[in-house]
Structure 1
Amino acid sequence: MSDWPSELFENHPAFQPIRAHLSRFSAPPNYQDWAATPVVAHSASGAPIRFVPSEQISEYYELAIYQHGQVATRLNWHDTFNAMIWHAFPLSKSALNAMHHRIIAADPAAKARGPARDAATLFDECGFILPYCDEQLLDYLIAHEWTELFVDHAAAWGQRISAFSFGHANFEHLLAPFIGLTGKCWPVKVQADFFQRDTASQCQELDQILARLINDHCLQKPRQLPALPYLGIPGWHPQQNASFYENRQYFRKKRIRSPNDH
Structure 2
Amino acid sequence: MSSWPQALFEQHPAFRLLHPLLGQFRAIPTHADWDQLPSPARSPSGAPIRFVDPDSITAYYELAIYQHGTVATRLNWHDTFNALIWHRFPRLKIALNQLHQRQISQASAPNIRGPVRDAATLFDECGFILPYSQPALLELLQQHRWEALFLTERAAWGQTIAAYSFGHANFENLLAPFVGLTGKCWPIAVAADFFSWPLDTQLSWLDGELAAAVDADQLQTPRQLPPLPYLGIPGWYIQQDTAFYQNTAYFRPKRQTIPSKV
How far off its partner does 1:10 sit?
A: 1.1
Aligned partners of 2:63 and 2:101 also within 8 Å: yes
Aligned to 1:37: 37
The percent identity for this pair of structures is 60
Aligned to 2:54: 54
C-alpha separation in 1, matches of 2:38 and 2:109: 37
Per-residue Cα deviation, 1:217-250 (whole angstroms, up to 9, x for no partner):
0000000000000000000001101111110000
With normalisation by structure 1, the TM-score equals 0.96
Aligned to 1:113: 113
Aligned to 1:202: 202
Q: Which amino acid aligns with 2:129?
A: I
Residue 185 (1) aligns with residue 185 (2): yes
Aligned partners of 1:160 and 1:192 also within 8 Å: yes
Compare 142-151 and 27-36 and name the one that shifted more.
27-36
How far off its partner does 1:193 sit?
A: 0.8
C-alpha separation in 1, matches of 2:55 and 2:224: 35
Aligned partners of 1:44 and 1:95 also within 8 Å: no
Aligned partners of 1:40 and 1:87 also within 8 Å: yes
How far off its partner does 1:106 sit?
A: 1.6
Please provide the CA RMSD for this pair. 1.3
Aligned to 1:244: 244
Aligned partners of 1:63 and 1:101 also within 8 Å: yes
Per-residue Cα deviation, 1:195-232 (whole angstroms, up to 9, x for no partner):
01111111100000010000000000000000000000
The runs of 4+ residues in structure 1 deviating greater than 6 Å are none
Compare 19-28 and 83-92 and name the one that shifted more.
19-28
Compare 66-75 and 251-260 and name the one that shifted more.
251-260
C-alpha separation in 2, matches of 1:110 and 1:36: 32
**Distance of aligned partners of 1:77 and 1:259 in 2 relative to their CA distance in 1, 3 Å threshold:** farther
Compare 199-208 and 32-41 and name the one that shifted more.
32-41
SS at match of 1:26: coil
Per-residue Cα deviation, 1:131-169 (whole angstroms, up to 9, x for no partner):
000000000000000111001100000000000000000
Give runs of aligned pairs for residues 1-262 of structure 1, distance below 5 A.
2-109=2-109, 112-257=112-257
**Distance of aligned partners of 1:247 and 1:54 in 2 relative to their CA distance in 1, 3 Å threshold:** same
Aligned partners of 1:16 and 1:199 also within 8 Å: no
Q: Which amino acid aligns with 2:85?
A: I
SS at match of 1:160: coil
How far off its partner does 1:110 sit?
A: 6.7
**Distance of aligned partners of 1:259 and 1:129 in 2 relative to their CA distance in 1, 3 Å threshold:** farther
Compare 90-99 and 250-259 and name the one that shifted more.
250-259
SS at match of 1:71: strand
How far off its partner does 1:108 sit?
A: 3.3
**Distance of aligned partners of 1:145 and 1:42 in 2 relative to their CA distance in 1, 3 Å threshold:** same
Compare 157-166 and 24-33 and name the one that shifted more.
24-33
C-alpha separation in 1, matches of 2:19 and 2:256: 39
Per-residue Cα deviation, 1:8-56 (whole angstroms, up to 9, x for no partner):
1111100111121111112211111011111121222322100000010
C-alpha separation in 1, matches of 2:6 and 2:183: 24
How far off its partner does 1:124 sit?
A: 0.2
C-alpha separation in 2, matches of 1:258 and 1:44: 46
SS at match of 2:51: strand
C-alpha separation in 2, matches of 1:12 and 1:195: 19
How far off its partner does 1:252 sit?
A: 0.4
Aligned partners of 1:92 and 1:210 also within 8 Å: yes
**Distance of aligned partners of 1:52 and 1:105 in 2 relative to their CA distance in 1, 3 Å threshold:** same
C-alpha separation in 1, matches of 2:164 and 2:55: 32
SS at match of 1:161: coil
C-alpha separation in 1, matches of 2:229 and 2:132: 17
With normalisation by structure 2, the TM-score equals 0.96
SS at match of 1:131: strand
Aligned partners of 2:104 and 2:112 also within 8 Å: no
C-alpha separation in 1, matches of 2:42 and 2:34: 15
